[in-house]
Structure 1
Amino acid sequence: RDLHTGTDAAKLMSLLMLVFSVSPILAPLTGSVIIENFGWRAVFWTVTGGAVLATILLATSLKETQPVEARAGSSFGTALSAYRFLMGDRNFLGLASIGGFGIASFFVYLSSSSFILIDHYGLSPSVYSVFFSINAVAFIGMSQLTGVLSERFGLRPVVRLAVVGYATTMVVLFAVMASGVDRLDVMAALLFVGYGFLGLVIPTTSVLAMEEHGAIAGTASALMGTLHFAIGAVAMGIAGVFFDGTPLPMVAGITLCAVISFTLAKLTLGRGREVVEAPAE
């Protein structure tokens, strides 16, 4: 946010999604290989090694993006003031929540899909890893169009189109599954399309949420990330209560998250926006 805004930020956010989303593709496949060859404990050693590497990169390679003259002092009091301001900004909270419920739908899938695909549909762990990666490919592929579409149509129209497509696809999936059609190929196809639309929702809402908060970009980013994962954690917990080994509760949870994202988008993007000056961070 210090260096880029608007469509430029959207293009870079799509690149970030490309890098960040490699993990859902590689992680299940890598985990399967590690477990098969070295046992389940090796997964934790691998994660620990990744954390150590990330810490080293953080200390040696992550440079400050603000010039010295533009940096503001930070204290516990100023942080609280910035959080209070953001919690009162309905536009920021709405955009962060749109993305949050989008991510939550993926968390619901993440928490239930292994049991459903392996136990209910009979896939092997290795095949499940490939199946899981397919949805990540849809997400990544569509997210790469964020910059192009935003430059041509604007960020807000892209969000509106994406949430409509996402919610519609998930509602169709729920209706099909609720009618008694319990087919893996049908579920896979509709999830692929739905998560493709989700690939447009996350980067655009993130850019829009940060757009007016350059003075408190660090606090805004922290709060947005917290909201994303908090909403996702709550959604996983609720989905777990209703889990019965069949796909329908999982699909219902994903659909509910998609519909909430759509509703929040209608409420957040459908009204005028008054820009309020934020407190310095």
Structure 2
Amino acid sequence: MSAGGPQPTSPYRPNAKYVLLLGSMTALPAISTDIYLPSLPDVARDLGTSATAAQLTMTGMLIGGAVGQLVIGPTSDRFGRRAPVLVGIVLHVITSLLCAVAPGIIPLIALRVLQGFFNASASVVAMAVIRDRFVGSDASRLLSRLMLVIGVAPLFAPSVGGVIAGEWGWRAVFVALAVYGTLLWFVVWRRLPETLPAERRRGPGLRAALSGYRSLLRDRHFLALAVLPGLSVAGLMSYVVGSPFVLQEGYGLSSHQFALLFAVNGVGLVAGAQVNAALVRRYAPVRILRVVLPVSVVFSLGLFAVGATGAGGLPVLLVMLWIQLALVNFTPPNASALALGRHGAIAGTAAAFIGSSQAGISGTISPLVGVLGGDAFAMTAVMAGSALLALVVLAFGTPAYRAGGWGT
């Protein structure tokens, strides 16, 4: 018996190829974001627009992803997992190529919204496939392993995107995204099995989709768990959108130094996910959450103190930032596994709700960094606020801190 009590297990055991496949699917939205980051100044300059308008091409993709998941999740519960993801990736490839020839900022923003909508198919189907075959700690452990694959995006994508844009221009970045999508489509077509048999699929039409979402909205415990990944990613995205200005303009780092530090912090994200994958072998996911979230609040408040006062300078800021980012990836896999476990019959809809909430919450909170001034104070304040709000949601929205409630 584990230290967290007996855990539900699955007869399936994913091999490395299976993890790599699902990780590559889940990483599609992240790669579409991170590889494009270094091109933002070039986009603004080339299209004759402002930095704020160029940043809307990032926000637009998040919004498209949030809406896309709400639509694609129920679709995958109706038609199975393979068809929606194969169609979605094809449309991602087409929109990527259209982005490469966009004549102005407005068409580019619109195309990025569509790109986010379509590539959401890969991430939401990957989550649904996990719930089709895995539950409890098995699901949490697999989600943590996926973070190893997903973590490659912040490690290498900005550098790769910078090299591509430097050699061939920012439009070539979208050609690269089209190539990645094409390769992913062939791998999914060859390797992804259908995990939702016909007898378990839901009825057609809008009514079935709305019925699924109504059942989720009535489950307050599910809602609290579904919000937690979004608050965690909001802290991460606050770092992503704020760090170029904080580290390059505030602390005078070069673009190469920034790319290196971005990669180092990416190692922290991956390390945290792998530690979590080891912990869920012994401890229930809810027990990990009830310990990690208070620790995250403590470190985020320390990070905010450093950012607000400048105490210790850049070295202390970087150390605190690395620790806080390493704690980020404990929350999404555990909270998502617990939430999905409550609604296995509508796993696609549940995964869509979680993913949409994640994109919507992070897309709403992270722009506050710019609103508050875009400096170290602003970035660390939003990160600390996100961590504190996550702890409040866990404490009051779930039984994690109630007598006996954390034992399941």
Normalised to the residue count of structure 2, the TM-score between the two structures is 0.63
Q: Which residue of 2 aligns with 1:34?
A: 164
Q: CA deviation at 1:59?
A: 4.4
Q: Corresponding residue for 1:216?
A: 346
1: CA distance, partners of 2:154 / 2:204: 35
Q: Report which stretch shifted further, 3-12 or 217-226.
A: 3-12
1:251 aligned residue (380, 383, 392): 380
Q: Secondary structure at the match of 1:153?
A: coil
- 1:21 is matched with which residue? 151
Call closer, same or farther: CA 1:30–1:52 in 2, change over 3 Å.
same
What is the alpha-carbon distance in structure 1 between the residues aligned to residue 193 and residue 205 of structure 2?
A: 21
Q: How does 1:83-94 map to 2 (within 5 A)?
A: 83-94=213-224
Q: CA RMSD in A?
A: 1.8
More deviation, 108-117/180-189: 180-189
Using the aligned pairs only, state the percent identity.
34
Residue 269 of structure 2 corresponds to which residue in structure 1? 139
Q: Within 1, Cα distance between the matches of 2:287 and 2:177?
A: 39
Q: Distance in 2 between matches of 1:62 and 1:153?
A: 30
What's 1:198 paired with?
A: 328
For the 8 Å contact 1:6–1:211, the answer to whether it is kept is: yes
Conserved in 2, the CA contact under 8 Å of 1:163 and 1:198?
no
SS of the counterpart of 2:304? helix
Equivalent residues in 2 for 1:81-230, closer than 5 Å: 81-181=211-311, 183-230=313-360
Contact 2:145 2:277 in 1 (8 A): no
Which residue pairs with 2:42 in the alignment?
A: none
Q: 1:263 aligns with which of 382, 386, 392?
A: 392
Q: 2:20 maps to what in 1?
A: none
Distance 1:198 1:127 in 2: 23
In 2, Cα distance between the equivalents of 1:173 and 1:197?
A: 13
Q: Is the 8 A contact 1:165 1:194 kept in 2?
A: no
| 1:235-255 Cα distance to aligned partner (Å, 9 max, x none) | 1222221124x3111110111
How far apart in 2 are the matches of 1:71 and 1:97? 26
For residues 100-154 of structure 1, the C-alpha deviation after alignment (integer angstroms, 9 at most, x for no partner) is 1100011111111112211121212122111112222111112112233123121
Residue type matched to 1:235 in 2? Answer: I
Distance 2:165 2:226 in 1: 36
Structure 1, 138-147 or 257-266: larger mean CA deviation: 138-147
After superposition, the Cα gap between the structure-2 partners of 1:145 and 1:182, relative to the gap in structure 1 and judged at 3 Å, is closer
Partner Cα separation in structure 2 for residue 115 and residue 80 of structure 1: 42
Unaligned runs of 5+ in 1: 274-281
Deviations along 1:8-58, whole A, 9 cap, x unmatched? 112211111111221111111211222232222221221232233334444
Q: Secondary structure at the match of 1:169?
A: helix
**One-letter amino acid of the structure 1 residue matched with residue 139 of structure 2:** A
Distance in 2 (CA, whole Å) between partners of 1:27 and 1:98 is: 26
How many residues matched?
Answer: 272
* Distance of 1:55 and 1:28 partners within structure 2: 23
Unpaired runs of at least 5, structure 2? 1-130
Partner of 1:276: none
1:36-93, Cα deviation, whole Å (9 max, x unpaired) = 3222222122123223333444445432112344334343211101111112211111
**In structure 2, C-alpha distance between the alignment counterparts of 1:81 and 1:212, rounded to whole Å:** 16
1-structure distance, mates of 2:167, 2:256: 13
Q: Which has the higher contact order (CA 8 A, sep 6+)?
A: 1
TM-score (norm 1): 0.90
Matching residue of 1:51? 181
SS state of the match for residue 167, structure 1?
Answer: helix
Retained in 2: the 8 A contact 1:8–1:147?
A: no
Counterpart-to-counterpart distance in 2, 1:113 and 1:24: 13
Structure 1 Cα separation of the partners of residues 237 and 365 of structure 2: 7
- Write the distance in 2 (CA, Å) between the matches of 1:70 and 1:85: 17
Alpha-carbon distance change, 35 to 182 in structure 1, aligned in 2, over 3 angstroms: farther
CA contact (8 A) 1:177 1:248 kept: yes
C-alpha separation between the residues in 2 aligned to 1:236 and 1:196? 18
Quick one: distance in 2 between partners of 1:180 and 1:71? 56
Which residue type is aligned with residue 121 of structure 1?
Y
The amino acid that maps onto 1:259 is L
Letter aligned with residue 109 of structure 1: Y
Look up the equivalent residue of 1:113 and give its one-letter code.
S
Task: Give how far 1:189 is off.
Answer: 0.4
Bigger CA drift: 12-21 or 248-257?
A: 12-21
Task: For 1:203 and 1:5, locate their aligned partners in 2 and report how far apart those are by CA, in whole Å.
Answer: 12
**Shift of residue 182, structure 1, vs aligned partner:** 6.6
Provide the rounded CA distance (Å) in 1 between the counterparts of 2:377 and 2:309.
10
